[in-house]
Amino acid sequence: MKLNTGERWDLIDRISKETVTFGAYRHTLKDAIGELTVKPMTGIPVAIAVMYGFWSVFGSFAGFFTDGFFVRLFDAYWLPWLQEVFPGQGEWLYAIMVDTGGIESGEFVLSSNCLESFGVLTSGLFVAIGVVLPAIIIFYLMLALLEDIGYMPRLAVLLDTVLHRVGLHGYAIVPTILSLGCNVPGVTATRILETKKQRFIMMTLLAIFIPCGAQIGIMQDVVPDLMGWILLYLIIGYFVFGYILNKIVPGKAPEFLIDVPPYRRPLLSNIGKKVGGRVRGFFVVAIPFVLLGCAIVGVLYQLGVIQFLGDTLAPVFVGWFGVPKETAGPLIAAFLRKDLAVAQLSAITMTPYQMITAVVLVSIYFPCVATFAMMLKEGWKELIGSLAVLAVVVFTYGGLIHLIGILLGVA
């Protein structure tokens, strides 16, 4: 037999009257802290402090391991040793695996560091293990802490008003923050949004504007002083294009109802398991792609495809976006791994503003292949829609950034 909603609630009322006693409500310390972090007057300063703390721990931890340890290990020992023992210097396999080198006054010279060598075993391994791995570990450690304490839903409540402007609601902060680690779980997390419209807007914004942890890690290493600008352009893009999408995408953007869970003391074992699992995922999924991306770009260089693309697309790159035509190579790599692409950009000579534009382009242009596959799994119609939006965004926003540079007199 089935009950209707009213009958069911009546029955539950009767059952609960018999079995549950509600004592007097005590205002505990946990409740007090909970309220302080949700009420805007106190909650917003706390949120800013939390984000700032997150950022500075992230930067100093990643910097400590990358600059203090891995850069020396890779540049002083690993690279010279490989350059020495790998056979066939100057040949194509050597160029792809170890060092493409350079020509100085007519002579072949070896690269002096792992970002310029472009080899699978040098740049590829350095980017994956030396730069991205420490960044990923610290990012996931802190994310796990925020998740398990129960801070995320509070952030959702605080940001609700702002996110409504872009057709979403506070809970969109969960896919957004997950995407800052990796866009793949971010895309899956869009399932917690109620309507197709919200899911589409969220997925599109994630794929275009949210840089993943690997990419943030490498940016922190190679262009630390330009980070602020790059992130600012991405955040502005997120809101501006979110606002536009909200106006043009049909559908509803309902209010959200959320249970804010009580704060809990995180369990070390659970934090360990989560960070371990996510880092293992990085090893299994990301590292092969970094190495593969390195190899493909290396081969394309050797075959002259990248020079050809660069020359063909030069009017677009130089004229419209205002970046050097060599950016073509990293943009191809960006489809496999964005972190690799940023590393390759850093080896190209350009002005700081060109670098900002190029890194923003790498971020907003095509999602990496893993994200692409995940979006396809969530629905091919949405994927095609997202890609259409993406094409428009890359051209208008990329051009706009160039224009801003011209107006500021820096491009």
Partner 1 sequence: MKILLMGHPNVGKSVFFNRLTGANVTESNYPGTTVDYTKGWMKIEGGDVEIVDVPGTFSLDPKDRAEEVAVAMLHENRDAKVISVIDASKIERGLYLAMEIIEEGYPMVIALNMRDVAEDKNIVIDADRLERILGIPVVSTVAIAGEGIKELVSRLKEAKPVNVDDIIANAANASDTTGAADAGGAA
Q: Give the separation between CA 278 and CA 276, rounded to whole angstroms.
A: 6
Strand partners, 102: 109
Longest dimension (CA), the chain: 92
Characterise 89 by phi-psi region: left (phi > 0), alpha (psi -120 to 50), beta (else). beta
Taking the least distance from each CB to partner 1, the nearer of 59 and 150 is 150
Alpha-carbon torsion (363, 323, 132, 65), positive or negative: negative
Taking the least distance from each CB to partner 1, the nearer of 102 and 150 is 150
Say how many C-beta atoms besides its own lie within 10 A of residue 166's C-beta.
Answer: 23
Nearest distance in Å: CB 14, partner 1: 5
What SS3 class is residue 103? strand
Residues 10-39: x where in contact with partner 1 by CB under 8 A, - otherwise, as a string: -xxxxxxxxxxxxxxxx-x-x---------
Whether 351 and 318 have beta carbons less than 8 Å apart is answered as no
Q: Which residue has the tokens 């002259």?
A: 304
Taking the least distance from each CB to partner 1, the nearer of 260 and 296 is 260
Say how many C-beta atoms besides its own lie within 10 A of residue 194's C-beta.
Answer: 16
Using the contact rule CB under 8 A, the part of the chain among 5-13, 116-124, 307-315, 357-365 near partner 1 is 5-13
Question: Using CB under 8 A, which of 162, 192, 348, 400 touches partner 1?
Answer: 192
With binding defined as CB under 8 A, does residue 188 bind partner 1?
yes
Taking the least distance from each CB to partner 1, the nearer of 26 and 381 is 26
With binding defined as CB under 8 A, does residue 273 bind partner 1?
yes
DSSP string, 379-403: -HHHHHHHHHHHHHHHHHHHHHHHH
Nearest distance in Å: CB 19, partner 1: 4
With binding defined as CB under 8 A, does residue 2 bind partner 1?
yes
With binding defined as CB under 8 A, does residue 258 bind partner 1?
yes
Taking the least distance from each CB to partner 1, the nearer of 28 and 312 is 28
As given in the structure block, the two tokens for residue 13 are 């009322």
74-213-235 Cα angle (round to 5): 130
Question: Using CB under 8 A, which of 63, 92, 194, 335 touches partner 1?
Answer: 194
Residues 311-330: x where in contact with partner 1 by CB under 8 A, - otherwise, as a string: --------------------
Taking the least distance from each CB to partner 1, the nearer of 261 and 352 is 261
Q: CA 399: distance to chain centroid?
A: 22
Using the contact rule CB under 8 A, the part of the chain among 41-49, 207-215, 269-277, 354-362 near partner 1 is 269-277
Taking the least distance from each CB to partner 1, the nearer of 167 and 237 is 167
With binding defined as CB under 8 A, does residue 191 bind partner 1?
yes
How is residue 109 annotated by DSSP? E
Q: Give the separation between CA 322 and CA 96, rounded to whole angstroms.
A: 29
Taking the least distance from each CB to partner 1, the nearer of 34 and 63 is 34
Q: Give the separation between CA 180 and CA 283, rounded to whole angstroms.
A: 17
Restricting to residues 134-153, name those near partner 1 by CB under 8 A.
144, 147-150, 152-153
Which residue ranges make up the site for partner 1 (CB under 8 A)? Answer: 1-3, 8-9, 11-26, 28, 30, 144, 147-150, 152-153, 171, 174, 188-189, 191-194, 199, 258-259, 261-264, 266-267, 270, 273-274, 276-277
